[in-house]
Structure 1
Amino acid sequence: MVNESPAHNSSTLAISPMIANRTRDVMGAGSPLQNQPLFPSPLAATPLKHQQPPQKSPSMFNGDATLGSPTTLNANSTTLNIGNGHTQSNLSAAEKLRLWRHDALMQHHYKTAEYIGDKVLSLTDDPNDAFWLAQVHYNNGNYYRARQLLSYKNLDTTSVSCRYLTVICLMKLDKWDEALDVVGETNPFKNENQNLKNLDGGIKLEASLCYLRGQIYSNQNNLEKAKDCYKEAVLVDVKCYEAFDELVRNDMLSPVEEWELLSQLDFSDVDENAELVKLLYTSRLNKYLNKDKFHEADVILREDYNLKDNTDVLLCQADLLYVQCKFQKCLELCEKILEKDELNFQTLPTYLACLHELGGKNKLFLLTHKLAEHYPKSPMTWLAIGIYYLSIGRIGESRKFFSKASMLDPNCGQSWIGFAHTFAAEGEHEQAIAAYSTASRFFPGTHLPNLFLGMQYLQMGNLTLAGEYLMSSYSICSVDPLLLNEIGVIYFHKGELTNAENYFKQALLASQNLESDSKAWISVHANLGHVYRRLNLYAKALSCFEKVLKLSNNDSNIYSAIGLIYLKWGYIGKAIENLHYALSINSNDPVASDLLRRALDENNDSSGNDFFQHTKDIFAANQATLDYKKQQHQQQQQQQRKNVNNTPLSSKIRNLSDNVLDMNNLDQRAKDLINGDDSSDEGDNILEDDDDAMELSD
């Protein structure tokens, strides 16, 4: 069993080339976490005497950024000032060689660092020097040599720091099982000084080891254990941001679990920065819950901490805009970030999704070429190429690039979702279901894969499985308007109109709470109108359809539904008028044509031949307008055929697509409309005309 080092709550800041000369009053005499060398060093026996602190001067380096050894190099002097007033003239020959090795490492002169480090180790035979030479090998990409050197005199079993470096080397060598043996399957320090504060300000090695353990389990597809290790890492030390990022970025926690974890974190380790770090972590959490807390954190970060132009703060604002379906504003904010950092990989997934939603094909084309030029081996490059090909309708090529991105980075949720969308776009339901199922297993904290699975089963007419997956998605996130709308569609198909009405109302309320773009949820108003129509609540139904027309007045199905309501209500003239509007938008709409024929027959029975003459006059007076609208609509259809249906390519939200009528499949479309569509994407067009026609004929 690996020996438990008493310094497991310390960080690597305790390791310094000049550690032998650090005085005991740095951390306070007798402190259990006082910085000390990895191993007893012969140089520690003769501490340097104190001198007066040097005056500040223009310097190349002010402080050892990596090792916590404060140094000041005076540009006008050959004297190197070391912390606590020590100067280079006080150092021994071995200590000067250590500084040479360390400065070469910081300046990426790896051959120099390796050459001098090897000589220092031969001169001193000090385990600390062996550790630093292993660090040189690691930074130079010589992972096997670093691993072998750490095995020298069993350093990886006698020091937590050496054990940590050993595990990283084994992971780089893809020796995951051996790495797990070294780090251990569980945290050996779990109940030992858990809440002991790390006084040196660095990251506790215990937390870092938990993070590495999580990465190993993740590579082995043991995602549940990986999640537990990441949670343990950030609970041990809130400064272990890597673990927190893995949990949030890879959707390993549900929105509720993310907020619960935040409430459990101890921010006292970061002292006066506690509020800042907590606000930054808050801004990273899921945007579906506690929107008010996010806004509060965002305001404080921008105004009190002057982070209004910080890229991470701006990105969190962009993520919220994307959830709200405010794609244009989100795109503008992403472009503001990319002006400062042209290829910011944290921003690119949201930016790419916005470009796809808004049809920015030219920008996608230019971005993909730039990524391919500078990052040809990055999964983000192939994700961007896949999105571009999906946007121009080349589904086969798109699928190939999404697949490549997911192989390069199995944790890239956008790649898995995009890969599944390519099958859904071609109507390959079985393959789409398999891909969405994989995404659901890899990213258990997001509700989107289960939502898309429910949509696929709904299109296949399997209401039972569709309901199960949608309710599973609902258990993860119960405030997504799209999800609530889909559940309402399920109940509509089942004939449970009261439940359908309830979920459609919840969807509208959720969209209001999110301050979502009203145009994104036209379908919810339309679906609620159809529910009221089926319940014979004609006034409420007309109110819903009027809200739809205020936002979009080019849907022939809405006018057909209004015409049907007026027809059943007995207002034949208004029914004929709205059905004329429907036919002016789509002259080949079979539903509108059938309803208009019924309305004319109904009016003929009550008004005689004068009505037909009046109707002919109306048609003659408006023929020019009808022809113009028909021509305009056909041009729009031709443009839409060139594009695939909009589907979201980030793991955040899916926008409802408009119903596009294929002129080459009118007969099939008429049959579908009469029998009732099962497609959740076309839930706003469900009319159930067969039942209504029977009622009218009776």
Structure 2
Amino acid sequence: MKMTEIINQKCCKNVEVFRNMIQGLVDRHDYESATFWADKLVSISNGSQQDVYTLAKCMFLSGQFHRAANVLIFYQYERTNLHFRSLTARCLYKAREYQKALEVLDLENKSVHPGQKVRASVWEPADSQKSIMGQVHLIRGKIHEALMNRILAAHNYKEALASDIYCFEAFELLTQNQMLSRAEEMTLLQSLPFSKSCTNGDVEFVRFLYTSKVKKYPTAEPTAVVIFPSLKKNLDILTGEAERHFYNCDFQTSFKMSSQVITEDPFHMGCLPVYVACLVEMSKITELFKVAHRLVEVMSDSALSWYAVGAYYFLIGKQDNARRHLNKSLSLNPVFGPAWLLFGHSFASENEHDQAMAAYFKATQLMKGCHLPMLHVGMECGLSNNPLLAMKFLEEARLLAPRDPFIRHEMGVVKFSEKKYDEAHSFFMETLGLLEKPSYSVSFKKWEPLYNNLGHVLRKMLKYDEALAFHQKALVICPSNASTHSAIGLIHAITGKTESAIESFHKALSIRRDDACSNTMLRYCVEKLVEDSHEDDENVVVMSDEEEEKIYDRPMRTRSGKLKSADVTPRGSTDSIEALPEPKRTRTPRKKDHDKDMEAPGQLSFFKFSLSSMQDSPEREKRHAPNSTPSSTPTATSTPTDNDGRRRTRRELRSTVSTPAPPESTTRTLVANSSSDDTDS
């Protein structure tokens, strides 16, 4: 008995030695050893609060969340000690027992039952900032967000910042999860107690760091970078600038800056969504494959990794595989907004408008401060022949991002479909005015449809010379677009330049053999040219009736290989190109109707995170096969449709993207077919 007492006395004297040793093990990240000795220390000290807290902390650091929560609940210190309550709730949150975690945090509001044993609080961890309430609000907000109650989550995050200005995690969750609009973010920044909470005179420094994390719609760079030049090469600051350039459609600069960050830190979680969105936006398939493969190998339990895989499959046109991997991403993080946005893109690329809109509406709920879901909902409404609803959503998107050129372009497309050509021309010119600024990459191929659309609108307004100039600009950007050649030929045909029109239609058919509009117009122009040549001078060529009959009645072979009779306009016909009926306007076909329809009009889509198939994909021609069959004879006002009408990523894929992306987006060419009361006729 005496020997036992002597041993206990010696152990009690060595308690401080053990505590220092355990802290040293924690500092060296040897959590298993620290847990072993902390357990023995709890027994020696007879359940001292300090030692119980140390044991639970070591278990938490080693990933034993259930065990740590059980230890804390067993000793019941969480009822009177706020530090114990916070650690217990954090352990239960990590163990995904959200309701139990909320019950632990609400213990301070419950009375103690008679006879219930409650240990008094006589110890608290050293906390010079007294910021434990900020941590309590933070964990409460994270639990509410996991339970899909984002309103309460945002409220608790704001409370955490008000209690502890250095609780950056709460601010990041508010901004990166798109819980606030830009106006709400600026209001929050103004309400934060920087002057009262900041120490050592770092008010401007902390304010600048928080300001760099808010929405990036303004084009001007923060002037505070000049005040803190040492932060110019900081990875977080570079990520913020890359995101700013991405939001303002300067994808090349954004890609350059995000690549600089990824080169130094390949797994920078803040920059990866922007980087993936840039890769999708610029169609860098090989690099995106490498990034997605590396992320899955290293972080297979991250929603961002499977999101990158889904973005890759979306970019190469394999939408089923893309949706399967996006489902896996959402199973890991159901509130990951960029994955929902990309989900909508995958359905929209296959003209599944209802499913695409459902995904976009879900992204709208999760990305309150981002304009991309609203933009894409407006696009789908326009494609579903609902221009009023489309304009409503596009106006909402413009309020969030007033300088985004894609929004104005889509508004012009909607006005064109309503035959309000003056308004459509105004929107297109506003878009062009934004793109002429140095911060935009006008030479990108995605802006080629804008010039074609301007040409279509000006042609409707009977301004043929200006329309031809814009079509020629579009031809410089994308020389291999058959619809541009067809549109140029149409203007030549209207203005009476039949030979030039025939040349343009031949070029269009050399690029796309099944262009029904070019085929029909070429045939009519040839007939018109033959008719005019006979009317000019019938004595120039002397031909017997038998020879003429052999030429005109000879069967001609179409490009499909079938024989048909040549349909030549009789000599002396007075029909003009304006008097002919025009093709019927049809809706964009499903993929299965591609053998009998004309080609679908081009579409603006973003990663726009955004997205579309590869330009060289063999499936692309199948998806964008012709989508309307013209009537027996065309009118001069029928407009060739765009063969590049596929969806691409449009940001974010927003940076948490966010999105990615974003992921993120070619502009879509206007529906070119006209009605019988067209102004061109």
TM-score normalised to the size of structure 1?
Answer: 0.70
- How many residues are matched? 563
Matched, 1:252 2:179: yes
Partner of 1:181: 103
Q: 1:665 to 1:547 in 2, by over 3 A?
A: closer
In structure 1, give the amino acid aligned to 2:169: E
Partner of 2:145: 218
Structure 2, gaps ≥5 residues long: 1-11, 111-125, 542-558, 560-598, 632-636, 648-666
Shift, 1:111, TM fit: 4.2
In structure 2, give the amino acid aligned to 1:242: E
Name the CA distance, whole Å, in 2 between partners of 1:147 and 1:412. 28
Which of 214, 236, 245 in structure 2 is aligned with 1:285? 214
Partner of 2:459: 533
Task: Find the residue that maps to 2:365 and give its secondary structure.
Answer: helix
Shift, 1:602, TM fit: 5.8
Matched, 1:103 2:19: no
Partner of 2:93: 171
CA contact (8 A) 1:425 1:645 kept: no
Matched, 1:275 2:199: no
Which of 668, 675, 679 in structure 1 is aligned with 2:627? 668
Partner of 2:475: 549
Q: 1:605 to 1:255 in 2, by over 3 A?
A: farther
Q: 1:287 to 1:402 in 2, by over 3 A?
A: same
Matches within 5 A, 1:83-94: 93-94=14-15
Name the CA distance, whole Å, in 1 between partners of 2:626 and 2:50. 80
- Structure 1 or 2: larger helix share? 1
Shift, 1:665, TM fit: 7.7
Name the CA distance, whole Å, in 2 between partners of 1:452 and 1:266. 38
Q: 1:548 to 1:570 in 2, by over 3 A?
A: same
Name the CA distance, whole Å, in 1 between partners of 2:104 and 2:242. 41
Task: Find the residue that maps to 1:684 and give its secondary structure.
Answer: coil
Partner of 1:686: 671
Name the CA distance, whole Å, in 2 between partners of 1:382 and 1:367. 11
Shift, 1:165, TM fit: 0.9
Name the CA distance, whole Å, in 2 between partners of 1:281 and 1:513. 29
Shift, 1:229, TM fit: 2.1
In structure 2, give the amino acid aligned to 1:668: N
Task: Find the residue that maps to 1:244 and give its secondary structure.
Answer: helix
CA contact (8 A) 2:316 2:612 kept: no
Partner of 1:143: 65
Name the CA distance, whole Å, in 2 between partners of 1:500 and 1:694. 15
Shift, 1:408, TM fit: 0.5
Partner of 2:236: 312
Q: 1:115 to 1:657 in 2, by over 3 A?
A: closer
Name the CA distance, whole Å, in 2 between partners of 1:362 and 1:98. 53
Matched, 1:485 2:444: no
Q: 1:496 to 1:692 in 2, by over 3 A?
A: closer
CA contact (8 A) 1:646 1:655 kept: no
CA contact (8 A) 1:436 1:453 kept: yes
In structure 2, give the amino acid aligned to 1:686: V
CA-to-partner distance for each residue in 1:252-273, whole Å, 9 max, x for gaps?
1223333333333333315443
Matched, 1:262 2:189: yes
Which of 336, 346, 350 in structure 2 is aligned with 1:422? 346
Q: 1:657 to 1:319 in 2, by over 3 A?
A: farther
CA contact (8 A) 1:201 1:270 kept: no
In structure 1, give the amino acid aligned to 2:300: P
Q: Cα RMSD (Å) of the superposition? A: 4.1
Shift, 1:402, TM fit: 0.8
Matches within 5 A, 1:34-45: none
CA contact (8 A) 1:217 1:226 kept: yes
CA contact (8 A) 1:203 1:240 kept: no
CA-to-partner distance for each residue in 1:611-638, whole Å, 9 max, x for gaps?
9999xxxxxxxxxxxx9xxxxxxxxxxx
Partner of 2:293: 369
Shift, 1:693, TM fit: 7.6
Name the CA distance, whole Å, in 2 between partners of 1:465 and 1:676. 27
Name the CA distance, whole Å, in 2 between partners of 1:395 and 1:677. 24
Structure 1, gaps ≥5 residues long: 1-90, 189-198, 615-626, 628-640
Shift, 1:588, TM fit: 4.4
Which of 316, 329, 337 in structure 2 is aligned with 1:392? 316
Q: 1:694 to 1:279 in 2, by over 3 A?
A: closer
Name the CA distance, whole Å, in 1 between partners of 2:436 and 2:82. 52
Name the CA distance, whole Å, in 1 between partners of 2:283 and 2:623. 25
Q: 1:662 to 1:99 in 2, by over 3 A?
A: closer
Which of 56, 81, 102 in structure 2 is aligned with 1:134? 56
Q: 1:603 to 1:691 in 2, by over 3 A?
A: farther
Name the CA distance, whole Å, in 2 between partners of 1:417 and 1:215. 23
CA contact (8 A) 1:239 1:270 kept: no
Partner of 2:595: none
Partner of 1:517: 441
Matches within 5 A, 1:613-692: 648-649=606-607, 651=609, 662=621, 668-671=627-630, 683-691=668-676
Shift, 1:203, TM fit: 7.5
Name the CA distance, whole Å, in 2 between partners of 1:376 and 1:284. 27
State percent identity of aligned pairs: 29
Say which structure, 1 or 2, has more relative contact order (CA 8 Å, 6+ apart). Answer: 2
Name the CA distance, whole Å, in 2 between partners of 1:551 and 1:273. 50
Stretch of structure 1 that moved more, 384-393 or 399-408:
384-393
Name the CA distance, whole Å, in 1 between partners of 2:67 and 2:515. 73
CA contact (8 A) 1:403 1:416 kept: no
Name the CA distance, whole Å, in 2 between partners of 1:449 and 1:350. 17
Shift, 1:250, TM fit: 1.4
Name the CA distance, whole Å, in 2 between partners of 1:186 and 1:516. 55
